[in-house]
Amino acid sequence: MTNLLNPWLKLANDQIRQGYILKEEQSIIAKFNAKVGEEYKIHTSIFPAPFMGNVHTAPVLILVLNPGYDEKEEKTGYYRNYESWWLKQIQYISPIENSPLFCLDDEYIKQSPYWKQKLQPLINKAGVEKVAKNIAKVQFFPYHSKKFKPIYKKLLKEEYFSSYLPSQEYNFQLVRSAMERDALIIIPRSKKFWYEAIPELRNYPNIHFTKSYGNIIFSENNLGASSFRIIVDKVNK
């Protein structure tokens, strides 16, 4: 497997950056935004969120679609308040000591409780410290939008990309590396996108899914008793 360099280091070290899109992806994102409706537009002034947690070592990876956009969270200053945290995260520097999955930090939860709520059943069984240490998240697409729409194939060809953006290819590499170390993978929704990007996921034995597409809470009922028990055991190790 070819080891791609972390593309986000360039963004982190750019002292005169304008917006938060990787330079090599700015043109295609601008073209995409010009073609889609407001609900699908990529927010270029919000720091990207490509991954969170110990993605290189976590025994459990959650594969999600893309970071959403919430007008209420923007009004409260949530996106601005945590820019420095994401700046550290994309360099693999944990913003919170001993809590790599920093969406479980008490202060963070006050402004964005979403992931705390979804992971609560696992927290009840393993404790918040182990969940924060042993679970990581990887996004299929790193930029914020209210609703997700994949980049048009025509635009990708115009920009001389293959089927995905460089930032996406890097995340796919992270997933493949996790598979090589036999990490447990959970896909709560958008299995189709992940299977197309990483075909070997189809036959990966250590993979689990939630039953509900609308509510991705990681509970025994939503995962199934067997999967829930396996995940709890993995997190507890």
The CATH code that applies to domain 8-236 is: 3.40.470
127-137 pLDDT, tens digit each: 999 999 999 99
Per-residue pLDDT of the chain (237 residues; tens, 9 = 90+): 557 899 999 999 987 887 899 999 999 999 999 999 999 999 999 999 999 999 999 999 999 999 999 999 999 999 999 999 999 999 999 999 889 999 999 999 999 999 999 999 999 999 999 999 999 999 999 999 999 999 999 999 999 998 999 999 999 999 999 999 999 999 998 999 999 999 999 999 999 999 998 889 999 999 999 999 999 999 998
Computed on alpha carbons and rounded to an integer, the radius of gyration of the chain in Å comes to 17
Nearest to 4 by CA among 181, 185, 175, 179: 175
- Yes or no: say if 210 and 188 are a contact pair by the CB < 8 Å rule: yes
**Domain boundaries, given as residue ranges, for the chain:** 8-236
Specify burial of residue 192 (Cβ count, 10 A radius: 0-12, 13-18, 19+): exposed
Amino acid at 65: L
CB-based contacts of 233: which residues, under 8 Å, 6+ apart?
none
